[in-house]
Amino acid sequence: MNDTELLDDERSVELSSIAAIYPEIKIDPSFPFKASLDIPVNPSPPLRICFEQYSDTELPTILTPPTSLDASEVGLGFATKTVDGGATASSDEDIHVLSHLPPLCLEIELPGGYPSEQSPIIKLSTDPAWLPSSIISRLLDDGKRLWEECGRDLVVYTYIDHLQQLAEPAFGIDDIPDGEVRLPRELKISLLDFNNKAEREAFEQETFECGVCLEPKKGVNCHRLLLCSHVFCVPCLQDFYNTCITEGDVENIKCLAPDCGKEGKSVRSQEGQPNRRKKHDRTLSPSELLQIPLEQETVQRYVFLKRKKKLEADKSTIYCPRQWCQGAARSKRHPKPIDPMSDDLDPSDDEDIGLVFDPNGDEAQLPPMADRVAVCEDCNYAFCCVCKKGWHGELVRCFPRREAELSAEEKATEEYLRLYTSACPTCDAPCQKRMGCNHMICFKCDTHFCYLCSSWLSEDNPYRHFNDGNSSCYNKLWDLEGGDGIDPDGAEALHQIPNELLDFDDSSDDEDQPAWDFDDGDNHFRRQGHPPPPAPAPPRVNQRAGGPGRREGGRNLNGLDAAGRAAAAERQAQARAMAEWNFTPSPLALCGMLGTSGGISNPCIGLTLMPRRGIRGRSPYFSWLSKGTIQSTLNDRPLVSDSVRVITAARPFCEAATTIPCSGIYLTMLKRSHASRSDPTMWVNCCRRGVPQNTVARGASGLGMRRISVWEKWRIGKFACVGAGVDEKSISDSLCP
């Protein structure tokens, strides 16, 4: 056949005009009258497909993972979600809703004699073969029928059009009386995989307006959240989640849309389940974060923080007594995950309360001997959870540490916590208000509570407590507005250190005046009973020991036992070591953390002292938990350590690069009175609570030898306020020349 004949041939005319309509058609290079075309199958409405159980013989033949990047999660997640609404779906059936199926492949050959004498030779197939053969043969018959019907004429276009129309209802595959299409299980993975890929492609082609930057973005730069299907652009998600994780604000790793997830809440309350603790966790899974994508390291921190929060919220968690470790003891309730990135973050149930006891309390509430052994999950140290010594076996009778054995530091810590913090009624986390109203939201467990009396407040109407005439806190919403332990007005003046105190006075080291003999003259505002005092006097941080109230309250520790004296001696030695090291009188930092007081439109940030062991921490270690430029008011120099993360924003975060031992040194965070939002510098005054600052200056602050080495890491450099947008690295560069 030569070219002219070929051009004149009706068959080639037909195929070339078809190729003009369907450019994707493939014409067989070896035989010009043979072509193949993929006909997309995107059923609308989507097809409900039930994949039937394996018969025993064909069990796990297709257990290979899906090939597309996100098939397993997206697909399964999506499918399970959509099925939830299905009324007929029974829970044990494997039903999926698919809107994209592998295309129907049409191979058509136009034989000699076509169209007048011969009908086209048609082959239909799908890969994999999901379309039942009965339907395929029906479609083949249609070809012949159409050819006849159009008077044995050119039929290819008509036929393709016919197939396309039938493809929309998926060739009537779902034309069965009760519900879903049944397909063999072997097809499941490849069909889901195909569906996901197709959906991904469609998604990438689409354009979305990102609700955060308000810019139109191509789907390829967007991410659809698995839980709620809201779409945001990847840079915004990364920005937000990275910030949250850096700041330790893991609770905010959820959808960015307003009101997202709120409906579920109202439904629950309608059902009358006042179960406030069992909030549905709407935070993203680590695997989804990786998908967005976030850096592996960031996601690991997220997983770590979530677990840490969980552990800390559990009052029964026991911590390793080794001060350099302080890991959690192994527990069945919170097993240490083997794979840190695994999705099931600590499946333990909030309702299931572990054994909580006070190691210093009554004998009767202590666990039986056999249950006292605890093993640290980090350093594998086996210890007794009552006496905190190395495990002594079940036959040794052990006693809890007595009050007198507590070090002065620990006592000071307790005292401070008692005076200037309020505990969350749910998780007992101590919290210190820095400013704002008395409606607090626990940073750990989100409980709403009253700062004055620690009452639990209803989330829906937290202010009733302050508006109800019968309440002990009636009209006290704004008591302590300037913060607890902080003088709202004269804060700066209060923390000015008189010049004479700034002089390093080694000679005046007074053996008879133990360093921990604190007195603060503020016994009168110990918040013990109800109602709390309306406005406690500010702590006199620069007050010399020897105020009028110093012998009150049984807190004079001059009559210490031998252990106390030994500690005192050690402290003196350390003080000297400090002095030799020529340390300028300078405060240490402590470690605070948040507690967001709600209500007012300026979100009120509180500062919470957070001993790692929760309330009444016996630990001299505090986690560094707060953010802010640390500026010493003592010598007016910024104080920063390379072992401390100091970032700028006012919102504190709850996990640190490291922990600093700074027991006995307390800091009060003051908002510089003229600090503005864009200048989040916070003034920090650090002193050992109740210890006159010159005592601190002498170094008699209870810093142990080991801790001095940590002190040595401190860099005191010139750097003023860190403005927003300065990254940590440049800060640390400027600090550690």
Partner 1 sequence: MGSKRIAKELAELTESPPEGITVELANESDIYQWKVYMDGPEGSPYHNGRFLVKLSLPTEYPFKPPSVSFGTKIYHPNVTNDDKGSMCLGMLRADEWKPSSKIAAVLEFARQLLVEPMPDDAVEGRIAEQYKNDRARYDEIAREWTRKYAMA
Question: Which residues are at the interface with partner 1 (CB under 8 A)?
Answer: 211-214, 232, 235-236, 239-240, 243, 251-252, 255-260, 437, 441, 446, 461-464, 466-467, 474-475, 477-478, 596, 598-603, 649, 651, 677-678, 724-725
- Between 414 and 459, name the residue whose CB sits nearer to partner 1: 459
| Nearest distance in Å: CB 606, partner 1 | 12
As a whole number of Å, the end-to-end CA separation of the chain is 85
Q: Which residues pair with 231 in a beta bridge?
A: 224
| Nearest distance in Å: CB 422, partner 1 | 18
Instruction: Give the per-residue SS3 of 178-211.
Output: CCCEEEEHHHHHHHHHHHHHHHHHHHHHCEEECC
The percent of the chain in helix, strand and coil, each rounded to the nearest 5, is: 30, 15, 55
Residue type, 301: R
Residue 428 zone, left/alpha/beta (φ > 0; ψ -120 to 50; rest): left
- Between 256 and 373, name the residue whose CB sits nearer to partner 1: 256
Q: Which residues pair with 124 in a beta bridge?
A: 106
Distances (CA, A) of 143 to 17, 105, 133, 171, 497: 19, 14, 15, 14, 97
Nearest C-alpha neighbor of 42 from the set 223, 203, 165, 204: 165
- Between 228 and 369, name the residue whose CB sits nearer to partner 1: 228
Nearest C-alpha neighbor of 240 from the set 218, 265, 213: 213
| Nearest distance in Å: CB 81, partner 1 | 21
| Euclidean distance between CA atoms 663 and 91, whole angstroms | 56
- Between 210 and 419, name the residue whose CB sits nearer to partner 1: 210
Q: Which residues pair with 441 in a beta bridge?
A: 448, 596
H helix intervals, 421-498: 464-467, 491-494
| Euclidean distance between CA atoms 627 and 651, whole angstroms | 7
Q: Which residues pair with 715 in a beta bridge?
A: 640
Q: Cα–chain-centroid distance for residue 136?
A: 52
- Between 83 and 610, name the residue whose CB sits nearer to partner 1: 610
| Nearest distance in Å: CB 295, partner 1 | 18
Tokens representing 148 are 């006849």
| Nearest distance in Å: CB 651, partner 1 | 7
| Nearest distance in Å: CB 441, partner 1 | 6
- Between 99 and 242, name the residue whose CB sits nearer to partner 1: 242
Tokens representing 554 are 């049984």
- Between 40 and 211, name the residue whose CB sits nearer to partner 1: 211
| Nearest distance in Å: CB 207, partner 1 | 17
- Between 115 and 606, name the residue whose CB sits nearer to partner 1: 606
| Nearest distance in Å: CB 214, partner 1 | 5
Tokens 């009636």 locate to 474
CA torsion 379-384-385-387 (nearest 10°) is: -120
| Nearest distance in Å: CB 215, partner 1 | 8
Distances (CA, A) of 220 to 231, 234, 354, 589: 11, 9, 47, 46
- Between 49 and 244, name the residue whose CB sits nearer to partner 1: 244
- Between 327 and 598, name the residue whose CB sits nearer to partner 1: 598
| Euclidean distance between CA atoms 354 and 351, whole angstroms | 9
> Is 142 exposed, middle or buried (CB count within 10 Å of its CB: 0-12, 13-18, 19+)?
middle
Residue type, 732: S
What length is written for the chain?
Answer: 737
DSSP state of 471: S
- Between 240 and 391, name the residue whose CB sits nearer to partner 1: 240
C-beta separation of 108 from 120 below 8 A: yes
| Nearest distance in Å: CB 572, partner 1 | 45
| Euclidean distance between CA atoms 183 and 335, whole angstroms | 40
| Nearest distance in Å: CB 340, partner 1 | 27
Max intra-chain CA distance, the chain = 121
- Three-state DSSP class for residue 494: helix
| Euclidean distance between CA atoms 593 and 308, whole angstroms | 15
| Nearest distance in Å: CB 255, partner 1 | 8
| Nearest distance in Å: CB 600, partner 1 | 5
| Nearest distance in Å: CB 467, partner 1 | 4
- Between 367 and 531, name the residue whose CB sits nearer to partner 1: 531
- What is the number of alpha carbons within 13 Å of residue 448 lying toward its C-beta? 14
| Nearest distance in Å: CB 257, partner 1 | 5
> How many other CB atoms are there within 10 angstroms of residue 723's CB atom?
12
Radius of gyration of the chain, Cα coordinates, nearest whole angstrom: 36
CA torsion 396-402-404-408 (nearest 10°) is: 100
| Nearest distance in Å: CB 644, partner 1 | 22
- Between 11 and 254, name the residue whose CB sits nearer to partner 1: 254
- Between 596 and 619, name the residue whose CB sits nearer to partner 1: 596
- Between 35 and 245, name the residue whose CB sits nearer to partner 1: 245
| Euclidean distance between CA atoms 268 and 370, whole angstroms | 42
> How many other CB atoms are there within 10 angstroms of residue 109's CB atom?
17
- Between 25 and 441, name the residue whose CB sits nearer to partner 1: 441
